[in-house]
Structure 1
């Protein structure tokens, strides 16, 4: 047992498993509330059309067996129930084999969603949750001490997450090297939070300290994860502090929370238990032979798959947020290799006028999280994730990110598609759909202190022009006047 497991990490495992289950719970809930409008039968990118053209081997998913809104809902709500049970400690209340099956079913359910989620599920926190969830399958429960191989693989994952993000910054935008990126980032990030305005207005020397601390957390501290205790725990705590800073400054889905959860697995029980006054670990039974074999087989597989992301880390042509296999195991990560200097937003409007002229009244659709009304203070969304709002930020950067879903979004608004409208915060056409919709591109800037006090506005916005000119469904209107 001594060569296979280490009882000193029972607390780190406990915190990791409970935290991961909570992240799973939030992730499944966010899908439950949004899937019909995104990938449902009347959604913007239906999963049924995707599985009809993509082979199972390229996107493994239970939805290749059957794909309907009812079946999607069944799988999603099963994931909600399993993750809630695991968060409540059910994994420790059942035999080891049953605990493994619970974690396996939760992972398989979420992976199945990610692999048919297309654009909406193409971001790093989805792959990170899939990879982390796979490792959790083999971590055991209260019957056995945590297996050393899985503990080291968790550190390897945290190392790649942090170092990958750090290297992509150094190799990318020059503002990371001269420590000026935070002059812009809090204003131009995809989904500002309620404190982002205040972070943006911190003095520039503080922004430079932020950037320097980011480099320490992502390029130096990760190497200490492989050092003896208490150095490894100290590095993990430093990473947790920097992640909490990121959580306070913006909305990045569950990315930062999952990084915190991974760091918790590094904490050694000895010093932590004494500091918190926790009891020592109870006696663990010897792990079954079948369990030892399962863990070792998984470890061999993951070490072999680590070749590609390890090579990517040292490559001058480093790519970020890529999966080298359809199961999203041992991925490469990175974030904000370039920082925008200006913020652009798409504002969608509609009118019920039959003809468009100088007196046409346009009414604005409000989204649930992204900036729109200049007096609307940015909301705290994370760890919940608003997928349409997030993708709108990318669409504002380039129309290439808007295909093929954005034209379908406009068509859904013209049709008052109830599934899609649930993704929108405020629909100004509750009774009858608009006759025309259009999309306009604005530049947004945070206001200054005096403007906020005088007007209550958090943003200034400047119209740049039409993103999509007025469009209508065929046969519903007369031709617009020019």
Structure 2
């Protein structure tokens, strides 16, 4: 049995770091997004006709139902959950002793409780990916911390459940690549995606500006490499030769690093890199000593054979890439490429690839399960009752792994509907679809796929919100912290923090304001000068710092990068006005107020701009108020708000690294 103790421990520490970033990033945004005077108050999600906290919990499983028992409202309870999540994740990061099943259960429950009221600001693929990976980590982690080598019985279940991490990584990468083709997007099929992507992505970095101006042939080649890394390389995750998997690991890490330096995708790429650890084992970190005599000769022969197979596998992959994309070097020493396969051919190949992927995923899980069960029988403790306990414990982990793998076949099969339909009685039985639908609300088995269709062709759409004291103007712009607005503002590095309002503004620009009711609530909060919401934008450049505007409107623009010849210019963008995004609103605009009342965002006791934290609809007179706890929560938030959000996140991470390092010393 190949050891994965160190590898598993590294994975668990990595998941703790991701949880730390996720909780901390959300924490700093709670008042403005979900407070009683926020854009989408969380209290609107906590209405239930059920009697009793248990009945309410069953209708919507979230710890926020227990807020009244702590003397808090929903907003402050969200603070408590986020702070506790930060603390637990921090402990898991600094000490392996806290990386146990109970710790990961608590972190999953806390994040899921916040997700339940997150609404549109938490409906992102990285949130559900963290929930699925976090749920799997509950069963990857040991029940209690055991130092390596002290009790092998604690390690039996790890090869089984750790296979689920690799399977999740496969589904994430394979689905993300395949859906770019199945969407039929002409930009992807025309291999022009990267010529648009660096300019159109949500929050680009400065490197994205330079990447956008790379030669077209190089961008095409980079796009082909990224698609091959997402679609073809994941099948090598299950290759029996570890060297092949290690190379796949490096390719995936390189892809994620490329995305990190060109785009701000919060903790998503970091989480993907943590999942990539499942491609390794302890031999990757610790080199074995070479033997002597005949064994060394045999080892030498096997090493040469392994290298030949390793090189052969990737040589075959490169050959097929060359053929499928017609790669050729021109007289000008550039590389030309074209897609040589049709959509019909790709669809037929996908119909065969999906069942093959299911088989490839099931085989190592079955082998690991058989090996784990056998190990409990042959190598278990000498004491009879301990051996029986280990045997049934291993069966439990095997059962969990088989169940989670089985229900995950549904979202994988959904990327090619004919597979799901034609295999209803074999590959994907109706029973699995039934169980998947039962657990679907818990986000433990999800479909994935980003950038199915490339947006921003012809210019990235951006919504610019403007306010004025007089309806005829002059109109002054609100500036956001990270998203493009002022054409002279520098492009930021903000990951792993996710400014969720900036992200939703990007999505809103792709649709109409009627499809994004939250942006109407944002306009109303700005008209009231709500301090919690103003903290989500650039307060240092607030044109209405003395008094909020009387009128507000939004205009749609198309943004473009400045040309390479203008690189010495302070401007990163130039923009063109497209038209009105939403009409002029006033604070006392009756249709606006009625609309927000219908959404339950405002009510009789929340229309005043003077309302602060803890004042709102869900602060009932018959509930006691925990004043000392509220004061403590306000004190903690005042400390966290002293620095910019991304600096706050990196400060926590740096402190954790220092503590972990000094503990080892």
Asked if these proteins are the same fold (TM beyond 0.5), I'd say yes
Query: 1:52 — aligned with what?
Result: 47
TM superposition shift of 1:293: 4.7
Contact preservation (8 Å) 1:162, 1:222: yes
* Cα distance change on mapping 1:475 and 1:14 into 2, 3 Å: closer
After the TM superposition, which residues 1-20 of structure 1 pair with which residues of structure 2 at under 5 Å, given as runs?
A: 6=2, 8-20=3-15
Is 1:72 the counterpart of 2:116? The answer is no
Gaps of 5+ in 2: 50-55, 68-72, 147-153, 289-378, 421-435, 591-665
- For 1:356 and 1:317, the matched residues in 2 are separated by 58
Larger Rg: 2
TM superposition shift of 1:420: 1.1
Query: 1:184 — aligned with what?
Result: 196
After the TM superposition, which residues 400-411 of structure 1 pair with which residues of structure 2 at under 5 Å, given as runs?
A: 402-411=515-524
- For 1:174 and 1:473, the matched residues in 2 are separated by 44
* 1:242 aligns with one of 233, 255, 278: 255
Query: 1:348 — aligned with what?
Result: 465
TM superposition shift of 1:45: 1.4
After the TM superposition, which residues 365-380 of structure 1 pair with which residues of structure 2 at under 5 Å, given as runs?
A: 365-380=478-493
Is 1:230 the counterpart of 2:345? The answer is no
TM superposition shift of 1:422: 1.2
TM superposition shift of 1:218: 0.9
* Cα distance change on mapping 1:285 and 1:198 into 2, 3 Å: farther
After the TM superposition, which residues 78-477 of structure 1 pair with which residues of structure 2 at under 5 Å, given as runs?
A: 78-89=84-95, 92-93=96-97, 99-141=100-142, 143=146, 144-145=154-155, 147-172=158-183, 173-228=185-240, 229-274=242-287, 289=390, 291-315=393-417, 325-340=440-455, 341=457, 342-352=459-469, 355-357=470-472, 360-399=473-512, 402-426=515-539, 427-453=542-568, 455-474=569-588
* Cα distance change on mapping 1:331 and 1:401 into 2, 3 Å: farther
Tell me the alpha carbon deviations over residues 291-310 of structure 1, each in whole angstroms, 9 at most, x when there is no partner.
Answer: 53542342133123223113
Tell me the alpha carbon deviations over residues 328-382 of structure 1, each in whole angstroms, 9 at most, x when there is no partner.
Answer: 0111100111002130101111123xx323xx22221111110011011111111
Gaps of 5+ in 1: 276-283, 477-482
Farther-moved stretch of structure 1 (176-185 vs 64-73):
64-73
- For 2:524 and 2:550, the matched residues in 1 are separated by 11
Moved over 4 A (4+): 53-59, 284-288
- For 2:401 and 2:119, the matched residues in 1 are separated by 29
Larger helix share, 1 or 2: 2
TM superposition shift of 1:19: 1.4
Contact preservation (8 Å) 2:32, 2:532: yes
Give the structure-2-normalised TM-score. 0.64
TM superposition shift of 1:285: 9.4
* Cα distance change on mapping 1:12 and 1:461 into 2, 3 Å: same
Secondary structure, counterpart of 2:265 in structure 1? coil
Give the structure-1-normalised TM-score. 0.88
* Cα distance change on mapping 1:401 and 1:218 into 2, 3 Å: farther
- For 1:190 and 1:285, the matched residues in 2 are separated by 53
Contact preservation (8 Å) 1:28, 1:79: yes
Contact preservation (8 Å) 2:20, 2:86: yes
Secondary structure, counterpart of 2:506 in structure 1? helix
- For 2:198 and 2:411, the matched residues in 1 are separated by 29
TM superposition shift of 1:205: 1.0
Taking only aligned residues, the RMSD between alpha carbons, in angstroms, comes to 2.5
